Amino acid sequence: MNPDSQNVTDYTNNNTIFMVWSFRDNLEVGAVFSKLCKLIINLNNSANVRFPVSRASCVMGIGYDAWLKLKLPVPLPKELADFAPIVGGKHTAVSTKGDLHFHIRADTTSICYDMAEAISDVLSPVAISTEEIHGFRYWDSRSILGFVDGTENPQGQDRELFSMIGDEDADYKGGSYLFTQKYIHNLSAWKDLTIEDQEKVIGRYKANDIEMSDEVKPSNSHIALANVGDDFKIVRDNMPFGNMSTNEMGTYFIAYASTFTTVQKMLNNMFIGSSEGNYDRILDFSTAKTGTLFFVPTFNMIDDFSG
């Protein structure tokens, strides 16, 4: 039987709510988690029936500590672990805690709010919400920095290939590794750059999203360092968020991958550099405030977890 995977290959939607929850200490959470698993299945089934064209879904990820606390199957997914900080000469990919991650998305905001409310009602007695980000689609999928985000995303059947575990970890086939980071941008400093200098930071031309040639593209540009080869891709579903009046605009980076090693390569290039010290120039304007690794089980597994 082929695994029934969660909606990790869906394309970017117009509205998103990202939530991270952490279990309270010294509480029994098994019964609540079973109830939550039933809810996640019901939310997705209901969305498919009630709003078939809205592309509404809720993807749940589980962190390493939560996997152990909940006594989920062993051995664990091969690369599920606490994310270790990546410390470069100037910038750091920080590590932050999180037990459960929810990626809620739809064409309309109403469904997102209803899903977030239902999840919060179940989890509130035993867990604390440590992050809630309301993302939005900005023009033609641009980040708030003004450049199209996700151009390197795999398309078609390649999305499944690069985002889902295969036979190499048969017990978890159809699952995915999920890595998230909340970035806050220094828009004031970014706006001080000329368009030409912004383009050199990114490695693409701003208006038409065309990648610079290798002869022109700086070696410390974001494109040069974040792209680690055609055989190593991830499915991104980044979304901008924030408050413009307080200069607290950001990007929520979210990556689904068949192997966390691919994400690790990207982060090492960005924060340490390739070669060392040649770090991603975008980090001078974008600061990582969080960094957490989760595992996204299949619906079959969630059904098992529900008891």
The set of catalytic residues is: 149
Q: Are 150 and 227 in contact (CB under 8 A)?
A: no
Q: Rounded to an integer, what distance in angstroms lies between the CA atom of residue 7 and that of residue 55? A: 10
Q: Are 15 and 94 in contact (CB under 8 A)?
A: no
Which one-letter amino acid corresponds to residue 197? D
Count of beta carbons in the 10 Å neighbourhood of residue 76 = 16
Q: Rounded to an integer, what distance in angstroms lies between the CA atom of residue 228 and that of residue 244? A: 33
